[in-house]
Each structure stands twice: as C-alpha cells, then as structure tokens.
C-alpha cells in the first residue's frame, strides 16, 4: 500500500511541476493570446490545455480551441473555494488542474481574463496507478494464500516432534503404572497370606516375608529409576562435573562385582589403561558402569566371560563391556535403549529387570556428550561400546 501511495505522489509531483513551469511562463510573458504556448511548443509535447475565464465565470477562451466539449468545460468553472492544484474527473477522464487567479499587474493584456486554468490530462498516470493497485492486490492475496498454506505446513511439521514426545510421555506413564502395579499386587498377596495363619512364627513365614521384601526392593529400585528418567526429561538433573580418575573407578567397580560373578562362575577380565583423568559426573559414570556390568552378569550363563576395557583413543575414551552371554536377537537390538523394553526371551526368564537400565545409561552417556552402541549375536554374546569425549 505504501508503494502505491508513493507512486501516486511521485507521479503527481512531476505533473504539478510541469504545470507550474507553464504558469510561470504565462506570467513572464504577461499573458497575451499571441504569446500562448500553442505557438511556441510542438504539438507532440503539449498535453496542457488553457482555459481563460472572466470575473463572472464565463469561458473567454480555450487553448487548444476544442480542448473540451462545451458541457465539459462548465465542470472546470472556477470557484472561490477551489484549491490552487486539484485533481478532477470528468466523463471518465482525470485531469490535474492548476487555477491561477490573475493579479493586478498581470492584467495588462487580455484584461477581461480573471482566472486562468492549466488542465493536464492524467489518464495514463491514473491507469498505471490502477494497474499497480490491481497488481498489489493480486500479489497480496497470492502472498497471503501462500503464507497461509506455508504456515499450515510448517506448524503441522513443528507439531510432529511435540506430538511424538507427548505420545512417548503418555506411553512412559502408562508403562510405569503397569510396572508399579505388579510388585504392589505381589506384596499385597503375600501380606494377606500372612493373615491366614496368625499364629505362625516369623521363621515359619520367612519365605513369604522374603518374597515381599524382594518385591519391596524391586519397587524401590523402579521408583528410583523412574525418578531419574522423569528428572532427566525435565532437564532437572544436572551433571555435576569434576576431574576424577576413571580407571580407578572402573577397577573399583570390577572388584565390587567379582564376588557376585564368582557365585555364577563367571570370569571378569579387565584391560584398563592407567592414569586416565576424566572430567564428568563420577556418580553418574559409576551408575552407568553398574547398569552395564549388571546386565552382562544377569544375561550370562555360568562359566561365561566378561571383559571390560578402557582405552584412550585420541581425544576420546572408549569403554567396552563384552560378555559371552545370551545375546540379543537382531530384531530387538534397535530397541534395547528404549524405556521398559525387554527382549521377550529374557523377560520370560524372570531375571527381574524393569527395562529402564539401558535408557538411563543412554541418558548418562549423552549428557556427557558421548555415544553408546550395542552389538550382539544371539547365544554368542553382546558388546556395549561407549565413547566419551575427553576435555583437555
């Protein structure tokens, strides 16, 4: 719209200047019929018509003679309230009109003329402006239409990740409720069993109590894991970074796991590079390694082997945890880092997991700017590879 107004203004400015020039020429020549520009200008350049009016508003003279039809000229009749420069539309044509009221000293020649009008046909300019307005209107509606559809497309695309994360969250909540219900109902059943034999001693009911306690422990671990993941989702869990010796941490964890491995007759071997200082959250890295070692032990048959290695590779650390256990079916491999995902075969084995361990492991690695991946062959074993960037 501002372009249209600008064009309208600039096109009139040059026309008005032209009219004023011609007016000045008339005054300079002291206005005489003989001196009228008709004689001085080439017809091709002349678009200005002159109307001479007397005091009473009668047309004395028009130049060129037949500039307007008689009935048209009456529309130009000067009026006291006329603006000096105005635009007038007559019979579908537009004109720019400059009205010059003669002053006393200008009255020498053609004394009866009181008012002179210089009339310029501005049809071409008006037409161009009309076209421009049409074009702007057309362009605007096309632009509006395009931006509407582009907006619709972009907003639907922008909503996709929000929708996905919403679905993920709803799934998480429903899975969590389901997982919480199982241990709760087991505990409830066992406690009710105790009431059936009120005279029994604790020793006599030790199996029931033990089972309830196991479920309470499971429940408490589940709630802890759920809390960790819920907090990581809301970015509430900050990584508390400091420098620590990661090789020492790894050796300590291996030592802690050795007695459990001995019971299962599983051998843990380590290939840990020495003196590696890492900048990260010690507690979380500890949790990560426990999750992976726990899995390696849990999903290994007796007489198996677990190898842990820590290697410095350029500007990053590589931790490998390899086992000769049950392995993961190829179809399950892409999903093992998903929340609550458990390989069906293992689920039936009653290994007592919740399927949250690896999703927490993934979060910890990613929070440290690293990557975790898994390779596995069914019945042969699995390998978890962690790459953590080192800070200088």
Partner touching 326 among ligand ATP, Mg ion, none, CB below 5 to 8 Å by kind: ligand ATP
Partner touching 296 among ligand ATP, Mg ion, none, CB below 5 to 8 Å by kind: ligand ATP
Partner touching 280 among ligand ATP, Mg ion, none, CB below 5 to 8 Å by kind: none
- With residue 143 as reference, give the H or E element that holds it: helix 123-196
**SS3 category, 376:** strand
Instruction: List the one residue out of 181, 179, 60, 169 whose CA is nearest residue 116.
Output: 60
Q: Which residues bind ligand ATP (CB under 6 A)?
A: 295-296, 299, 323, 325-328, 336, 341-343, 346, 353-358, 382
- Contact (Cβ atoms closer than 8 angstroms) between residue 41 and residue 18: no
Q: How far is the CB of 266 from ligand ATP (least distance, A)?
A: 12
- The region of 66-74, 234-242, 295-303, 317-325 touching Mg ion under the rule CB under 5 A is 295-303
The binding track of 349-378 with respect to Mg ion, each residue x by CB under 5 A or -, is ----x---x---------------------
Secondary structure letter of residue 377 according to DSSP: E
Q: How far is the CB of 323 from Mg ion (least distance, A)?
A: 12
Query: Any idea of the CA torsion for 233, 238, 241, 247, to the nearest 10 degrees?
Result: -40
Strands 267-272 and 305-313: parallel
Q: How far is the CB of 151 from ligand ATP (least distance, A)?
A: 41
Q: How far is the CB of 225 from ligand ATP (least distance, A)?
A: 6
Return the number of the residue (8 or 383) whose C-beta is nearest ligand ATP.
383
- Contact (Cβ atoms closer than 8 angstroms) between residue 83 and residue 12: no
Q: How far is the CB of 283 from ligand ATP (least distance, A)?
A: 18
Instruction: Give dist(CA 14, CA 10) in Å, integer.
Output: 7
Return the number of the residue (25 or 340) whose C-beta is nearest ligand ATP.
340
Q: How far is the CB of 342 from Mg ion (least distance, A)?
A: 9
* First-to-last C-alpha distance (Å) of the chain: 59
Non-local (6+) Cβ contacts of 304 within 8 A are: 264, 266, 267, 323, 324, 325, 381
Partner touching 346 among ligand ATP, Mg ion, none, CB below 5 to 8 Å by kind: ligand ATP
Q: Which residue is it, tokens 């900048």?
A: 279
| Binder among 73, 115, 117, 295 for Mg ion (CB under 5 A) | 295
Q: Would you tell me which residues interact with Mg ion (CB under 5 A)? A: 295, 353, 357
């Amino acid at each position: 719209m501002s372009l249209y107004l600008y064009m309208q203004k600039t096109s009139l400015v040059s026309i008005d200047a032209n009219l004023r020039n011609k007016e000045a020429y008339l005054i300079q020549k002291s206005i005489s019929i003989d001196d009228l520009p008709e004689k001085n200008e080439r017809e091709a350049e002349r678009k200005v018509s002159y109307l001479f009016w007397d005091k009473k508003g009668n047309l004395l003279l028009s130049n060129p003679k037949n500039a307007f039809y008689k009935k048209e000229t009456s529309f130009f009749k000067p009026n006291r309230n006329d603006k000096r420069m105005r635009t007038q539309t007559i019979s579908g044509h537009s004109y720019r009109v400059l009205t010059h009221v003669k002053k006393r000293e200008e009255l020498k020649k053609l004394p009866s003329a009181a008012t002179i009008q210089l009339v310029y046909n501005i049809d071409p300019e008006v037409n161009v402006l009309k076209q421009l307005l049409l074009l702007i209107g057309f362009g605007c509606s096309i632009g509006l239409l395009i931006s509407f559809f582009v907006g619709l497309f972009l907003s639907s695309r922008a909503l996709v990740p929000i929708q996905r994360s919403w679905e993920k969250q709803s799934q998480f909540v429903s899975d969590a409720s389901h997982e919480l219900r199982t241990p709760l109902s087991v505990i409830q059943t066992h406690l009710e069993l105790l009431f059936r034999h009120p005279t029994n001693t604790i020793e006599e009911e030790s199996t029931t109590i033990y089972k309830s306690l196991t479920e309470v422990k499971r429940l408490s671990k589940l709630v802890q894991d759920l809390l960790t993941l819920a907090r990581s989702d809301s970015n509430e869990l900050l990584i508390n970074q400091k420098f620590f010796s990661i090789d020492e941490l790894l050796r300590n964890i291996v030592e802690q796991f050795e007695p459990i491995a001995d019971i299962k007759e599983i051998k843990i071997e380590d290939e840990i590079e020495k003196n590696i200082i890492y900048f990260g959250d010690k507690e979380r890295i500890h949790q990560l390694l426990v999750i992976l070692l726990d899995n390696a032990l849990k999903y290994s048959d007796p007489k198996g082997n677990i190898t842990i290695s820590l290697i410095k590779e350029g500007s990053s650390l590589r931790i490998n945890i390899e086992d000769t256990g049950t392995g993961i079916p190829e179809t399950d491999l892409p999903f093992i880092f998903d929340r609550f995902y458990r390989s069906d075969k293992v689920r039936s084995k009653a290994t007592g997991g919740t399927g949250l361990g690896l999703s927490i492991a993934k979060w910890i690695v990613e929070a440290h700017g690293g990557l975790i991946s898994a390779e596995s062959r069914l019945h042969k074993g699995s390998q978890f590879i962690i790459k953590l960037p080192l800070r200088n």
